[in-house]
Structure 1
Amino acid sequence: MFEGSKTKAWQVAVTAKSLSEAMNNVFLNHEVSSSLPKWLGWLAPFENCVILNTDQSVMEDKAGFEGVLRSSNGVWIHGFCGNVDDFEIIGVELLDILQGLRIAQRLGLTRVYCQTNSFVSVKWIQGGVSHMHHYSNLVQEIRKLLDKDREVSISHVLRECNKCANYFAKLGLGCPDRLTNFMEPPLDVIPLV
């Protein structure tokens, strides 16, 4: 079925679970009024897997980015945020994913499931881009980290699915450094973790 593919069984299982939940919501809840609120939230990955959530925020001439690494139980592992000037948002999104995967590698995390709200980034990372593309180097660096002897995958999620990542992205705008690491969650984030 996946002949010649580097797709791991657990990646297929994560995707299948996500699709199954989406299908259940569509077909089993078809009688639910569309005027009712839809509850979205962070979903834990499979056991013994770390989840990396990334998000970005833009304000005037500055962009903030962030990442949060949590265990399959939702326990904080590591967080980071930063900012860049003179940006295109897609470049910030790719930089954010690259930073998170590099940190996960430095921490020795071998099963990482990256979730980002950037559909275009996921598309480019999974499908590749021309070597002449403006962001080819960033995409290739991310693809190298995905291809290493680790179980790493990436998928798109709605921003509303991770309030913790969204909070950090806004924090990144005001970060005094280009990159700040958090070994412990800031007090304001604890209720969101």
Structure 2
Amino acid sequence: MQIVWLPQSICDNIGQTTRNFIWRDSNNKGIHLVGWEKITRPKRCGGLGIRPARDANISLLGKLVWDMVQTSRKLWVDLLSSKYVDGPKLLSCNLSSGSSTWSSITRATKSSKMFSLGVQVRDLLPFGSPLGPLLAALNHSSPMSIFMIYISRVDRSCLGSPVRSGFGSIIRNTFGHYLAGFSGFISGSSDILLAELYTIYKGLLLAKDMSIDELVYYSDSLHCVNLIKGPQVKYHVHAVLIQDIKDLLSQISVSLHHTLREGNPCADFFAKLGASSDVDFLTHTSPPEGVRDLLRNDAMRTLFIRE
């Protein structure tokens, strides 16, 4: 597991053995009271901290990737570097043929790019810090690039009588850490679709300003998602706004998805916050009071019935 990319069948067998140990008794019988996905979560997120076999395999091979990227003074590093690739160039190398060890390292390198290392300039400095662009430039010019996928959730809310339309969104990294959020109030409108589209538009602008490279955007409006992903609509009442969103989507790497309303509590909080205020647009660089518990539950993927 430390030097070879295990076949998927072996990883599946290891996982099955682990599940049998946890779920079954001495008579080889048992009831699955807790899902495997929850068991494999970190302990701080309510799980048992048991890593899936594939993740453990990638993690151990990642140590070899790190040694090669850092050009450690080790005999095997010198041997593979001289034969296949020079140190830091490993991250952009497409050569996968070679020995079993080299093939395993290249596969682990590609898989590691799908995960966040958890260290970003925007994690270390407050949003808007004048040192941010400088450190970001230094970071991207370093030998090892850091890959991060950000998650944004969007929602809108109409409250009171007369109706007040609000919108809001939240941006987090893959570990559920809060990065930014915003809320706002749309004066003189009760158009829910407009609020939803406007939220996505403002969220994409914020992500662009934060220099976010990879973004996964969730909205609980399936109609809105279909309008944006679908063909151009010239005669729609919100055609201009929809086209503006499409233009922004072409400028950064974004995948737009539909989610259930019950899976969007944090964005719902910001939308209600916007509807209850008179501010057109407000960026929250730190989590407001009342949303911290929701953030924790959202990071643990806990679903609640929405009020």
Find out whether 1:164 has 2:266 as its counterpart. Answer: yes
1:57 maps to 157
Contact 1:70/1:76, CA 8 A, preserved across alignment = yes
Residue in structure 1 matching 2:291, options 182, 189, 192: 189
Structure-2 change in CA distance of 1:126 and 1:46 (3 Å): farther
After superposition, where does 1:29-68 map in structure 2 within 5 Å? 47=116, 48-59=148-159, 60=161, 61-68=163-170
Partner of 2:179: 77
Q: Which portions of structure 1, spanning 4 or more consecutive aligned residues, are displaced by more than 4 angstroms?
A: none
Separation in 2 of the partners of 1:143 and 1:108? 18
* CA deviation vs aligned residue, 1:55-99 (integer Å, no higher than 9, x gap): 111123211100100011101110000111223111110000000
Unaligned 5+ segments in structure 2 are 1-31, 33-113, 117-147, 296-307
Q: Is the 8 Å Cα contact of residues 217 and 254 (structure 2) preserved in structure 1? A: yes
Q: TM-score, normalised by structure 2?
A: 0.47
* C-alpha deviation, 1:187, in angstroms: 2.0
* Distance of 1:154 and 1:64 partners within structure 2: 21
Aligned to 1:88: 191
Instruction: Give percent identity, aligned residues only.
Output: 31
Answer whether contact 1:128 1:139 (CA < 8 A) is retained. no
Q: Distance in 2 between matches of 1:46 and 1:157?
A: 22
Q: Partners of 1:106 and 1:128 in 2: how far apart?
A: 27
Secondary structure of 2:235 counterpart: coil
After the TM superposition, which of the residue ranges 80-89 and 105-114 deviates more from structure 2?
80-89
Distance in 2 (alpha carbons) for counterparts of 1:124 and 1:46: 30
Distance 1:125 1:186, change over 3 A: same
Question: How far 1:168 moved relative to its partner?
Answer: 1.2
Question: 2:223 matched to 1:123?
Answer: no
Q: CA deviation at 1:46?
A: 5.8
What is the distance in 2 between the residues matched to 1:171 and 1:46? 32
Q: Which has the larger helix fraction?
A: 2
Matched, 1:174 2:276: yes
Matched letter for residue 189 of structure 1: V
Unmatched 5+ residue regions in structure 1? 1-31, 33-44
Partner of 2:86: none
Residue aligning to 2:213 = 110
For 2:115 and 2:205, the matched residues in 1 are separated by: 21
- The residue type equivalent to 1:191 in the other structure is D
Distance 2:231 2:246 in 1: 8
Larger strand proportion of the pair: 1
Partner secondary structure for residue 108 of structure 1:
coil
Q: Which residue of 2 aligns with 1:13?
A: none
- Determine if the alignment matches structure 1 residue 144 to structure 2 residue 247: yes
Q: State the partner residue of 2:10.
A: none
- For residue 92 of structure 1, give the secondary structure of its aligned residue in structure 2: helix
Higher relative contact order (CA 8 A, sep 6+): 1
Q: Which has the larger radius of gyration?
A: 2
SS at 1:132's partner residue? coil
Q: Aligned partners of 1:180, 1:98: CA distance in 2, in Å?
A: 14
Are the structure 2 counterparts of residues 83 and 128 from structure 1 closer, same or farther at C-alpha, using a change threshold of 3 Å? farther
Residue 137 of structure 1 aligns with an amino acid whose one-letter code is V
Q: TM-score, normalised by structure 1?
A: 0.73
Distance 2:196 2:283 in 1: 18
Count of equivalent residues: 149
- Per the alignment, in what secondary structure is the counterpart of residue 124 of structure 1? helix
